[in-house]
Homo-oligomer: A and B are copies of this chain.
């Protein structure tokens, strides 16, 4: 039974400890008494041509950039050092990002633009950091199933909490792992973004699931999962409640979807058994990514949950995990076709990717 304790950092930001058992002492206060409130100026601008949002967060240029290990802000506070986490140990800790892309205070500081066809609004969302382990050299793939379960409970708890904030329309739990994708803090951690809008990629997915439901009475993702299971050659791992597969139209060299067999909208909707099961298959998939190359794969993992107030009846939860490494020492760069035309060219066939993730030897 995951236990939660709450506190506040010296500048007023919230912090939550999640422990697998109640009773851990996490009462240490933040001793950085002189910590000034960080500036936030997040602005959301609408692009009417591409029907897309851009988030302008000019204050973030000053954020912490690859600090040495002994100055890591995500390690617990020990031996007189004061980090972002006041306790001298923790299992999972979640706190508001000091350099957030969104902030509930943005509304007060951002001047709005209304020169048609330009439209902007404050970036009044929320950005949280999720520390998976107090051990600096750890990684998600090496967590115990019990710890992974605590992370899942933390994700579900924070998803439900952010969904209760009026301005937040979408909660995205994700992890960036590896310097190759720009991670500036190597301590094992993920992030949660509470967007003040539904990201268009997910807005369109919601529309697609709704239209498919109206047309066929079925869930599009249930249908896609059934098709993957019947074809079979892109399946990576299966458990009682979950399936991990490389999607038919994968964009990335190695891309996996982890999908519950039962139709459920988001992480808070998972029952105890589904969470235990997920902890095991999720770790299994991350370990498969780490075995692909000579060194652990850089990856991005994100949870595609139902929007907070929309399409909840038609949405089917899924995790998307992918690496940008296409071969040892070679990265998949996003160049003209990907970044300019938004069309991904994938050099690794999904069937080959799945076979390699299953551990089969496959020639180029």
Interface, chain A (partner B; CB < 8 A): 45-58, 60-62, 65, 101, 113, 115-118, 120, 170, 172, 174-176, 181-183, 191, 193, 195, 199-202, 204-205, 208-209, 212, 220-221, 223-224, 227, 230-231, 247-251, 300, 302, 320, 322, 326-327, 330-337, 339-350, 352, 364
- Nearest-neighbour CB distance to chain B for A99, whole angstroms, equals 10
Query: Does B343 contact A199, Cβ atoms closer than 8 Å?
Result: yes
Interface of A is mostly: mixed
Contact partners of A348 in chain B: CB under 8 A: 58, 61
With A172-B337, A174-B337, A193-B336 known, 19 other A-B pairs at CB within 8 A are: A45-B249, A48-B208, A48-B220, A49-B221, A53-B249, A55-B343, A57-B346, A58-B347, A58-B349, A61-B347, A116-B223, A117-B220, A117-B223, A117-B227, A172-B336, A182-B332, A193-B337, A302-B341, A334-B334
Q: How many copies does the complex hold?
A: 2
A-B contact pairs, 15 of them (CB 8 A): A52-B249, A52-B251, A54-B251, A56-B346, A118-B248, A172-B341, A182-B333, A182-B335, A191-B336, A195-B343, A199-B342, A300-B335, A300-B339, A322-B339, A334-B339
Contact partners of A55 in chain B: CB under 8 A: 337, 343-346
Contact partners of A344 in chain B: CB under 8 A: 54-55
Q: Which residue of chain B has its CB nearest to the CB of A247?
A: B47
- Per the bound structure, the CA–CA distance linking A181 and B175 in Å amounts to 22
- Per the bound structure, the CA–CA distance linking A208 and B51 in Å amounts to 8
